[in-house]
Amino acid sequence: MASLKEVRIRITSVTSTQQITKAMKMVSAAKLRRAQDAIMQMRPYAAKMKEILENLSENLDSNAGGAYAKQRPVKKILIIAVTSNRGLCGGFNANIIRNVNLKLTNQYAAQVKEGNVKILAIGKKASDYFSKKPELFAGQYNSIYSDLRFDNISPIADEIMQEFAAGEYDKVEIVYNQFKNAAVQNVTTEQFLPIMPPTKDSGAKSKKINDYIYEPSKEEIVSDLIPKSLKITLYKTVLESHAGEHGARMTSMNKATDNAQEMLKALKLSYNKARQAAITGEILEIVGGAEALNG
């Protein structure tokens, strides 16, 4: 059995850790509310933008999307891995890294072997991991979380679109955590480029009365809307990840606080047992000494 001093030190340490985890939980809960409001406001806008594009593109030919809709044989690939800058959020970041690694070893094994797969990291955790693999690492954007605004995401999307249009990549995918609620974040992969043509199902769902006069033409409207839609898509995925990060951290810190409480109960029980054993030992010594004097 551990000594009283050792148990006291452990109780102090666990109590201190519990105070930290409780404070982090409260901070994440406050940040989650703001992040959740931001993504809930963005989702309808992004969905409406997609619906408008599908309605406009439905009767256009496959070239309506211009350079961003050009389908090429998939030889060169860019994967955008969206993680957080900080840890202590359970498996939030590990799930993204694991998913990307599975793509590298399974889905894109042939392209990796030829050196045609690059990974762009948004978030320090993805950057720290993939920067150790220079043959895969294409760069990082870790500072955007300090001021998460559309104006700061837009240049990133512009750069990716320019590289795709120039033929540096044939396919661009985004891997991120989609926010569902504070306890659940779903690892999601979305094709960013090339733009997928509207399917019959999606066209049927979003089909509305199309008896409009377009000024300028449909083609010009689509060509203007596509870059904006792509920027909004990237911004939305980062917002999803940002909200998911705070949800995951709040849940993780809540569990850590509960675990610390259980550990404190066990340590206090152990401390009381050790204290009782010490008192009993002292009593036995006194009784033994008294009997010796009487004898």
Residue numbers annotated as active site = 89
- CA separation for the pair 294, 42 (Å, rounded): 88
Which helix (H) or strand (E) covers residue 71, if one does?
none
Let me know: does 267 contact 7? Beta carbons within 8 Å: yes
For residue 144, give Cα distances in angstroms to 39, 52, 140, 150. 16, 29, 10, 10
Contacts of 76 (CB under 8 A, 6+ apart): 111, 116, 117, 118, 168, 169, 170, 171
Let me know: does 43 contact 167? Beta carbons within 8 Å: no
Let me know: does 131 contact 83? Beta carbons within 8 Å: no
Contacts of 219 (CB under 8 A, 6+ apart): 60, 64
Q: How many CB atoms lie under 10 A from the CB of residue 67?
A: 16
Taking alpha carbons only, the member of 78, 249, 243 closest to residue 161 is: 78
Q: What phi and psi, each to the nearest 5 degrees, are found at residue 3? A: -70, 165
Let me know: does 119 contact 81? Beta carbons within 8 Å: yes
Taking alpha carbons only, the member of 25, 210, 161, 175 closest to residue 95 is: 175
* Cβ-count burial 150-166 (b if 16+ within 10 Å, e if not): eebbbebbeebbebbee
